[in-house]
Amino acid sequence: MGNVIIERIEISSFGKLKMLSIVPDKGINLLSAPNESGKSTLAAFIKFMFYGYTSGRMQSILENDKKLYTPWDNPQSEGALYLLTESGRYKIERKYLQSGKESLNVFETRTGKLLNIGVQPGEYFFGVNDVTFEKTAFFRQLFVPSGKDEYIAEQLQNISMSADEQISTKKALKRLTDAKNMLSGRLKNGLIPKLESEQYELEQKLTDAFETNRMIQELSDKITEYRRMISENARILEKLNSESENIDKYESILRLKQLMELERNEARAQLEYIEAKKLLKKEQLPENSVITSMLSLNAEYKSELRNKERIYADITKEEEDLRNLQSDSGENNENVKAFQKKAKKQRTFAIVLMIIGFLMCVSGVAFYLMEKNVLFLIIALSVGLLLFAISFVSVVMLRKKLKSKGYESLKDLEAIIKSYPLFEQRVNDKKNKITSLNNAYTGLVNRLDEQKKNIENAISEYIFLDKSKSYEEQIDFISDAVQKVVQKREAYKTHSATREKATENIDMDALSAQAQGAVKPEREKVKVDNEINFYSQQMKIFEEKERESERQKALLEGRGSDPAVLTGKRDAVKSKLLEYRKKYAALETAVEKLTEASEYMKSTVAPRINAYAGEFFSSATKGKYTALSVDTAMAMSFKDDTGIKSCDYLSAGTRDSAYLCLRFALIKLLYNGVNPPIILDDAFGRFDDERLEALLGLLSAKSTEGQIFIFTCGDRERNLLDKAGINYSALSL
């Protein structure tokens, strides 16, 4: 599969990391961050995506990835990896619930097809299991290996002996020996002695075989019928599978139509957005504060208009009052006094007539009472009433004269005469007030002109001014247009995002090709699947019955029910005996040849391990040590000017370099040509700057073959990479 490159890392929830997306590059990827920032969690997440939780049974939290990295505030670990390989692009999705339930999906991103790989993604893409991956390409802290690393030691032994870490020569030898023992058997219980005994028994059973012929024939008939049914079911299943495949193709057509409808919706929303923007002159929309400012200007303008009307009304009223005052004050004061004098005389005259009339009536009544003279009484009452009438008419006429002059009564006239000296002052006050109001009116008109100009300028900045509409209507139009533009823009963004999400990781050409030749299905897929399931179950039942009948038939034949069959069985046993005896001889030869081949493989393949490791170690030590070797017990040795020595004599940092070089050699041997991502999590703590610089040079050379992640809590690696001019991609959490 060549290089396996991680193109994107998406963490929904894992340990302390949540909703994180990282896009690494080929070659070296450097993540420099403080302790407790999540570097080791990111490294563990990558291993989790390839192999899941591999230490779930450990009791210690530090040794149990499931306990260590399951978030406290979320019952599940979840994320995705996007991979680039020589065979295509893939997406791994994994979700692990705290309850232990896990879902794992691997997609081919070009077509969106779900792959049924049947193993962990790491085994599928790298060809090794989780233990091998963790002991080769996944570096937590470098340490010198020991003979206790039995797993890698066994694989090294297999490689050194057979050129394949999956083949254990020792185990093969043991299986060959066991096969020999199974054939011969030390206690005469092997296959060969058993067949010899069976041959003797068959000879004895030939005489008792005739009774079972009928039963064997019945079973043969049943087997024939079952095979016919199986053939019929196979024909039906073939037709149903074709129908199911057509339904899948038709679903691709529906999917294409749905995607095309999304594209049309996006184009329609874009057109509506463009049309909405044409409502305004400017591309840039006014802020809410601008609309609010225009509304405030309009409110002030309308308020000032009302003030203008109010001041104008005040001026009109004051001028009317002034005219009235001037009219009142225009009459001669002497004439008013003369009029007052005449009015008083008229009132006095009326009062005198009233008194005389009253006296006439009283005297007439008194005289009548004394003299009983009716004529005198009538005359006296008539004169008295006449005087009363004249007095009343005089009073009414006096009131009319007062009203005509604008007075309510003589008292009102007297008050006016007394206040007449104040009229002039009141007239002057009115004139001053009118002048003040006129000045205010003039200033207000000027302000209104300025406000009108400001409002019209503000409106004209966004639309063409319409004199037939009020400012408020035009401001509302701008506000509505802004809202419409925003609404259409958001609708366009929503449709665009929906279309992009729907077409993400979908190859339209592949989807179109997949839909070729589809016709509208006559039935629902669930019904077809149910029938497929039904006939598949029927097929299994018939096949099981066929096998059972064949087993019964074979059992009867084995018992010697049919003489011909028993004869054939006997001959078969003889043939089997001959075969087993040949196998026994062949096994003896195989053990001899395998031993010889193992010795040959040790002399030709094992040096490859040491050659790879020595080449890497020479680069990591800048040529100081030219060879590195390891035996099948995982004991490492190095070569210098004085000879070959154990790596135990090296410093801690140099031993770490040797172990890293051994891991690179193991990757080259164990991964069958696949270059996995190499993860180094705080792996250089015991390296000095010189040794680390040399090792980074080796990593730079290795990075051309694949992808390397370096996680560190300091800036030393970054500075040395920059100093050496080594290209790398800086990552961030």
Ordered DSSP codes for 663-707 = HHHHHHHHSTT-BPPEEEES--TT--HHHHHHHHHHHHHHHTTSE
| CB within 8 Å of 35: residues ≥ 6 apart | 713
Q: Is 251 helix (H, G, I), strand (E, B) or coil?
A: helix
pLDDT of residue 559: 62
**∠ CA(456), CA(458), CA(463), 5° rounding?**
80
Position 449 in a domain? yes
Same domain, yes or no, for 345 and 435?
yes
Q: Whole-structure pTM over 0.75, yes or no?
A: no
Q: Are 550 and 408 in a shared domain? A: no
Q: Is 533 exposed, middle or buried (0-12, 13-18, 19+ CB in 10 A)?
A: exposed
**Which sign, positive or negative, has the C-alpha torsion 112, 118, 119, 125?**
negative
- On whether both 301 and 417 belong to a single domain, the answer is yes
Cα gap 662→489, rounded to integer Å: 59
Sign of CA dihedral 28, 29, 32, 38: negative
435, 459, 483: which is the final residue of a domain?
459
Asked if residue 610 is part of any domain, the answer here is: no
HSE-up of residue 464 (Cα within 13 Å, Cβ side) = 3
Q: Measured between alpha carbons, how far is 481 from 479 in angstroms, rounded to an integer? A: 5
Whether residue 155 lies inside any domain: the answer is no
Q: Which of 699, 700, 673, 516 is nearest to 87 (CA)?
A: 673
* Contact of 471 with 455, CB cutoff 8 Å: yes
Co-location of 306 and 417 in the same domain: yes
Which of 575, 600, 625 corresponds to the end of one domain?
600
Domain membership of residue 76 (yes or no) is no
The domain spanning residue 356 has which CATH number?
A: 1.10.287
**d(Cα 129, Cα 133) in Å, to the nearest integer?**
6
pLDDT of residue 426: 73
Q: What share of the chain is helix, strand, coil (3-state, %, to 5)?
A: 65, 10, 20
Q: Any bridge partners for residue 708, and if so which?
A: 28, 678
Number of structural domains, the chain?
2
Instruction: Give the separation between CA 721 and CA 717, rounded to whole angstroms.
Output: 6
Give Cβ neighbours of residue 297 (< 8 Å, ≥ 6 apart). 451, 454, 455, 458
SS3 409: coil
Pairing mode, if any, of strands 627-630 and 636-640? antiparallel
The conformation of residue 3, written as its DSSP 8-state character, comes to B
Is the Cβ–Cβ distance between 87 and 117 less than 8 Å? no
Sheet holding 707-712, edge to edge: 138-139, 678-681, 707-712, 27-32, 729-731
Averages of pLDDT over runs of 10 residues in the chain (733 residues) are 88 91 94 90 92 68 72 83 93 87 91 89 89 84 45 48 46 68 66 75 70 80 90 90 86 86 91 88 83 87 87 86 66 62 78 83 81 79 82 80 71 64 69 86 88 86 85 86 89 90 83 82 87 90 90 76 70 78 72 59 61 73 75 66 74 79 82 89 85 85 85 91 92 88
CA distance 175 to 705: 39
What is the structure's pLDDT at 108? 94
Does residue 383 sit in the same domain as residue 302? yes
The helix/strand/coil state of 38 is coil
Residue the block writes with tokens 């007449």: 420
How many other C-beta atoms are found inside a 10 Å radius of the C-beta of residue 587? 20
Same domain flag for 559 and 412 = no
- Domain boundary (578, 600, 622) is at 600
Instruction: Compute how many other C-beta atoms are within 10 angstroms of the C-beta atom of residue 536.
Output: 13
- Phi, psi (deg, nearest 5) at residue 524: -75, 150
Predicted local confidence at residue 457, as pLDDT: 87
With beta carbons less than 8 A apart as the criterion, state whether 182 and 190 touch.
yes
In a domain, 238, yes or no: yes
CB atoms within 10 A of CB 335: 9
The reply to whether 691 falls in a domain is no
Within 10 A of 654 (CB to CB), how many other CB atoms are there?
Answer: 22
DSSP-derived 3-state class of residue 139: strand
| Burial of 578 (C-beta count, 10 Å sphere; 0-12/13-18/19+) | exposed
Task: Clarify whether residues 215 and 304 are in a common domain.
Answer: no
> What is the distance between the alpha carbons of residues 128 and 667, in angstroms, rounded to a whole number?
10
**Same domain for 376 and 316:** yes
Are 598 and 591 spatial neighbours (Cβ–Cβ below 8 Å)?
no
Asked whether residue 17 is assigned to any structural domain, the reply reads: no
653 Cβ neighbours under 8 A, 6+ residues apart: 686, 687, 688, 691
Residues 302 and 416 in one domain: yes
Determine which helix (DSSP H) or strand (DSSP E) holds 441, and give its type and residue range.
Answer: helix 410-460
Residue 83: the pLDDT is 94
Contacts 24+ apart (CB under 8 A), 449-457: 451/297, 451/300, 451/301, 451/304, 452/301, 454/297, 455/294, 455/297, 455/298, 455/301
One domain for residues 364 and 421? yes
Going edge to edge, which strands form the sheet with 643-646? 627-630, 636-640, 643-646
The answer to whether 37 and 712 have CB atoms below 8 angstroms apart is no
Residue 140, pLDDT score? 74
Q: Can you tell me whether residue 400 is helix, strand or coil? A: helix
Pair (230, 304) in one structural domain: no
> Closest Cα partner for 702 from 620, 606, 639, 605?
620
> Is 310 found in the same domain as 192?
no
Pairing of strands 102-108, 113-115: antiparallel
The Cα 601–Cα 158 span in angstroms is 10
Residue 457 contacts by C-beta under 8 Å, 6 or more apart in sequence? none
> Is residue 394, in this structure, part of any structural domain at all?
yes
Q: Which domain holds residue 436?
A: 290-459
Buried b (16+ CB within 10 A) or exposed e, 698-708: bbbebbeebbb
- Find where tokens 């991956």 sit: 133
